[in-house]
Amino acid sequence: MNQKDNLGYYRSETIKLTIPVFLELLISSLFGMVDMMMVGNSGPSHITTPSIAAIGITNQMMFIGIAMAQAISAGGTAMISRYCGANKKEKVPNVVKHLVVLIIFLLIIPFVTVNQLIPERIMGFIGAKQDTIDVGLNYFRIVILGFIFQSFNLSIFASMRGTGDTKTPMIINVCINILNVIGNYILVFGKLGLPALGVTGAGLSTSLSHVIASIVLFIMLLNKSHTVRLDISKGFKFNKAILENLIKVGGPAALEQVGFRIGVILFIKIVSGLGTVVYATHQIASNIISLSFAPGQSFGIAASTLVGKSLGEERIDKADTFIKETNGLALIASIFFGLLFFFFGPKLTSLYTDDPLIIEQSVNVMKIIALIQPFQASAFAISGGLRGAGDTVSTLIVTMIGVVFIRLVTAYILINMVGMGLVGAWIAMLFDQITRWIGITLRYRTGKWKYIKLK
C-alpha cells in the first residue's frame, strides 16, 4: 500500500467514526439551544431571564457530574479499544460490568445525594441570585435526579465507542433529544390540556428522556450477541487488573474534570457578580459556543478509539497518524464555526431572547468566541488521542494550568480591576484555550504517550 493509499485509509477510518459522533453532539447541542429558546420565550422577561440563569446554574453542576462520568468512562474506552485491537473482545463484558459498578458507587450515589440535600446552597454557591433560586429550584432537583440514568447511559455509550460503534449512541441520543424537545413543548407551554410549567417542565422532560434511553440500553445489554453486554447471570467479581486500569486512566481524567468544573464555577461566580442580565447573556453565549464543541469533541472521541485500537495492535505509527489526521480535520471544521460566530453572532443571540440589552452585550463576546475556535478544536482532538493512549495525567496538568490559573486570574483582573465586564471574562477564556492548546501540543510532541502500558 503506497503512502497515498495510507493517507486515504486513515482519513476514511477517521471520518467513519467521527461523523456519527459529530451528528450526535451537534444535534444534542442544537436541541439544547431549542430547550433554552423555549424557556426564554415562555413568558415575561422577569420570569424567563432568571429561568435562563437557572438552567445555566444547573448546567454547571450537571457538567461536573457528566464530566466525571465521561472521565471514569475514558478508562473503559481505552481498555475496550485496546482489547478490540488485540482481538480479545471476550474481555469487554467484564470491563463494562466494572465500569457500571464504579459509576454507581463512586459517582451517582454521592453526587445525587449531596445535590438533593442542599440544593439552595449549591445554587447560591455557583452564583444564583434569589430570583433564580425561586424560579429554578424544582428544575435543579429534577434534573439532578435524571443524572442517575444519564450517567449510566454515558458509561455504556463510551463502551460502545471503544469497540468502534459510534452509530448506536448517535441514534439513541438523537431519538431522546427529539423526545425531550416534544416533551418541552408540551410541559413548558402547557399543551394537551396540561398546565404550563415553564422551566420546571423543561426539567421533567429532560429527565424522562434519560430514563427512556436507559431502558433501551439495558435491553440491548442483555443481548448476548453484542460485544458490549452485561452478563448478569455470571454475577460480579472484582478483577484487580481491570480496576487498576480504570483508575489509572479514569482517575486523573476525573480529577481533571473536577478541577476544570470547579474552575468554571469560580469563573461563573466572578461573572455573576455583574448582575442577572449579564449572567443571562453569558449563559446564552456559553450555550452557543457549546454548538462548536461538536467537531472538536467528535474528532477527540474518534481519536481515543483509533489510538487505543492501534496501540492494541502494537502499531504506534498508526496511532500517531490518527492523531495528526483528527487534529487536521478538527481545525478545518473550526473555521466554519469561527466564521459563523464572527459574522452572525447577534442573530444567534436573538433566537434566545428579544431583550436588546442581552443582544447588544453579546456582539463582542461572539467575536471572541470565533477566535477561540481553532485552539479549542485542536486541543479537543489531540487530548482525545492522548486519553485513548491512557495518558490522562498530562491533560490533567494542562487543564489545571489553563482553567484554574490563567482563566481565573485573567478574568479577575480584567473584570474587577480593569473593568472590562463580560468581554473581559471571554478574553480570559481565550487565553485559557490558547494555554491549553500549547500545553497539550507540547505533550503530544514528546511522544511519551506512545509507551503507556495497560494490563
Summarised one tens digit per residue, pLDDT across range 237-247 is 788 888 888 88
Minimal CA–CA distance to 190: which of 177, 205, 179, 176?
205
The mean-pLDDT minimum among 16-25, 97-106, 288-297 falls in 288-297
Please give the pLDDT value at position 5.
47
Residue 11 is assigned to a structural domain of this protein: no
Choice among 24-38, 216-230, 305-319, 357-371 with the minimum mean pLDDT: 24-38
> Average pLDDT, stretch 255-266?
83
Please list the helix, strand and coil fractions of the chain in percent, rounded to the nearest 5, in that order: 85, 0, 15
pLDDT of residue 410: 95
Torsion on CA atoms 115, 107, 308, 86, rounded to nearest 10? -150
The verdict on residue 10 lying in a domain is no
Distance CA 376, CA 198 (A): 34
The answer to whether the beta carbons of residues 161 and 21 sit under 8 Å apart is yes
Pairwise CA distance, residues 281 & 260, whole Å: 22
* Position 75 pLDDT exceeds 60: yes
pLDDT over 90 at 143, yes or no: yes
Residue 317: inside a domain:
yes
User: Does residue 5 form part of some domain?
Assistant: no
Q: What is the pLDDT of residue 157?
A: 94
CA atoms within a 13 Å half-sphere pointing along the CA-CB vector of 216: 16
Cell triple for 28: 444534542
Name the residue with higher pLDDT: 125 or 430: 430
One-character DSSP codes across 37-89: HHHHTSS-HHHHHHHHHHHHHHHHHHHHHHHHHHHHHHHHHHHHHHHHHTT-G
Q: Is residue 4 very low, low, confident or very high in pLDDT (cuts 50, 70, 90)?
A: very low
What percent of the chain lies above the pLDDT cut of 70?
98
pLDDT tens by residue, 370-427: 999 999 999 999 999 999 898 988 989 999 999 888 999 999 999 989 989 889 999 9
Q: Among candidates 406, 454, 408, which has minimal Cα distance to 431? A: 406
Confidence of residue 90 (pLDDT cuts 50, 70, 90): confident
The domain in which residue 392 lies consists of 17-451
- Which whole number is the average pLDDT over 230-251? 80
Q: Which of 76-85, 86-95, 260-269, 350-359 bottoms out in mean pLDDT, i.e. has the lowest?
A: 350-359
How far, CA to CA in Å, does 117 sit from each of 54, 151, 200? 18, 19, 19
Task: Please indicate, yes or no, if residue 239 is contained in any of the structural domains.
Answer: yes
When mean pLDDT is compared across 103-107, 213-217, 438-442, the lowest value belongs to 103-107
Compute the distance between CA of residue 218 and CA of residue 222 in angstroms, rounded to an integer.
Answer: 7
Percent of the chain surpassing pLDDT 90: 44
Residue 446 vs residue 125, higher pLDDT: 446
**CA 237, CA 54: separation in Å to the nearest integer?**
42
User: Which residue did the predictor score with more confidence, 109 or 37?
Assistant: 109
Give the pLDDT band of residue 121 (cuts 50, 70, 90): very high
Whether residue 410 is contained in a domain is answered as yes
Give exposure, 54-86, as e/b (b: 16+ Cβ within 10 Å). Answer: bbbbbbbbbbbbbbbbbbbbbbbbbbbbbbbbe
Split at pLDDT 50, 70, 90, the class of 1 is very low
Total number of domains in the chain: 1
Cα(86)–Cα(405) distance, integer angstroms: 41
Res 2: pLDDT: 44
Residues in the chain: 455
Confidence label for 455 from pLDDT (cuts 50, 70 and 90): low
Residue 171 has pLDDT above 70, yes or no: yes
Residue 12 lies in a domain: no
Whether residue 264 lies inside any domain: the answer is yes
